[in-house]
Amino acid sequence: MNKKQRFSDLTLLSGSENKYPNSPDDAQLEAFDNIYQDRDYVITFDCPEYTSLCPVTNQPDFGHIIIRYVPDKKCIESKSLKLFLFSFRNHNTFHEESANSILDALVKACAPRKAEVIGKFRPRGGIAINVKATYGGKIDE
């Protein structure tokens, strides 16, 4: 498979203009072929500036999202992930829901062997919330 065919599905990376989606439902996670399907390896995305809105008060919530996964046939393209995570900025969701919906979107986009999304959310009202959602079992390192 030549380079043009391999990356033909990556529409966001090739675009020079960023169109920021208004919600995760409007965002698109893109994936590319994993040329190292014959081995397990861990990909980690570290997103320390995650924001969303409280579904009750509509006030901003701030967090740190860490995504780790063992790819199978596809890998997540990082610019599409950035735009996807950015789409939560105007989206009302609880912390537990955001970590799980990020995991669901990742699994849908690339069907990894294993995946986890860790959300470390800043305190509000004196309590910090940390959430870990997993798919396919524990990721060893």
Note whether 109 and 29 are within 8 A (CB).
Answer: yes
Give me the residue spans of the domains in the chain: 38-135
Q: pTM for the whole thing?
A: 0.86
CA 26 to chain centre: 14
**Tokens 């912390």 identify what position?**
95
Please tell me the CATH code under which domain 38-135 is placed.
3.30.1130.10
Q: What is the pLDDT of residues 92-133, one digit of tens each?
A: 999 999 999 999 999 999 999 999 999 999 998 899 999 999
Tokens of 129: 């919330």
CA 44, CA 88: separation in Å to the nearest integer? 20
pLDDT digits (tens, 9 = 90+) for 10-69: 766 655 566 788 889 889 999 999 999 999 999 999 999 999 999 999 999 999 999 999
* Residue ranges in 1-141 assigned as alpha helix (H): 3-6, 11-14, 78-86, 95-110
Residues marked active site are found at 54, 61
